[in-house]
Structure 1
Amino acid sequence: MARKPSSPGLPSQRQLRAGEIIRHALAELIAREDFRDPELAGVLVTVGEVRCSPDLKRANIFVTPLGDDTEAGRTRLAGALNRAAAFLRGRLGREIELKFTPELHFIADKSYDEATAIDRLLSDPRVKRDLE
């Protein structure tokens, strides 16, 4: 039986499945780990999404700190997690059952800001009038 090629630019089922496995494991790992870095000590982290490369050897992890939704707070958190990426990758390798543990790259998640901006735009009286 021939495999149906995935749409160009869209992640495969394998990438999506691996991303979710990594997301759940990292969220638990970050929550229970005691970090030496003062920027990570006591910070609650939301792991919003994990995007894996097609070969699953690289993972981009979108993170945001709970309670500090500023751009500077997100950027500081991503930087601190990138400094701890090798440590987290080692711990993650013991938690997940993938052939390779991907290289971790943390990115400040801006999707919540974008969703808020869209909500604000949709609640504008002029836009509501046009939608009705």
Structure 2
Amino acid sequence: MANSRRVSKVSSLIKREVSLMLMQDIKDDRVGAGMVSITEVEVSGDLQHAKIFVSIYGSEEARAETMEGLRASQGFVRRTLGQRIRLRRSPEVLFIEDRSLEEGDRMIHLINQLEIKDPEELEAQESEEMV
């Protein structure tokens, strides 16, 4: 089992290499349907599995199409990683859609909709309710 520093280093290498592959090597038109960025890569402790979290900007249809293209290219990505990164075995690659940016944006929108009251105004309102 690899130590945490090694896992972290392999994770960042995979993120960099897959980002380059998205820009240059993956020729599937479905992957270009939405703007794709890699948000995080989680590598297992034994370096045999890599979960690649991707954020996709575009319509729901473009997102679904892009995920299909990414899943279809998993074998190519694994093989290319094996050639570019010196590991005993190439990690099995799994693409997962990351919607955390979208959820964060939704939360900010909800917070902005809240009416924030002044503490003095709250005290005055509470005293009126007691009387």
The answer to whether TM tops 0.5 is yes
Picking from 73, 97, 107, the partner of 1:84 is 73
Q: How many residues align?
A: 117
Q: Which residue of 1 aligns with 2:128?
A: none
Aligned-residue offset at 1:30? 1.4
SS of equivalent to 1:25: helix
Unaligned 5+ segments in structure 1 are 1-5, 7-11
TM-score, length basis structure 2? 0.73
Picking from 24, 29, 46, the partner of 2:16 is 24
Aligned-residue offset at 1:43? 5.5
Q: Which residue of 1 aligns with 2:104?
A: 115
Residue 19 of structure 2 aligns with an amino acid whose one-letter code is A
Which structure: larger Rg? 2
CA contact (8 A) 2:50 2:94 kept: yes
Q: Note closer, same or farther for the CA distance 1:39–1:122 as it changes in structure 2 (3 Å cut).
A: same
Residue 116 of structure 1 aligns with an amino acid whose one-letter code is D
Richer in helix (by share): 2
TM-score, length basis structure 1? 0.73
CA contact (8 A) 2:33 2:63 kept: no
C-alpha RMSD over aligned residues: 2.6
Q: Which residue of 2 aligns with 1:63?
A: 54
SS of equivalent to 1:81: helix
Q: Note closer, same or farther for the CA distance 1:130–1:27 as it changes in structure 2 (3 Å cut).
A: farther
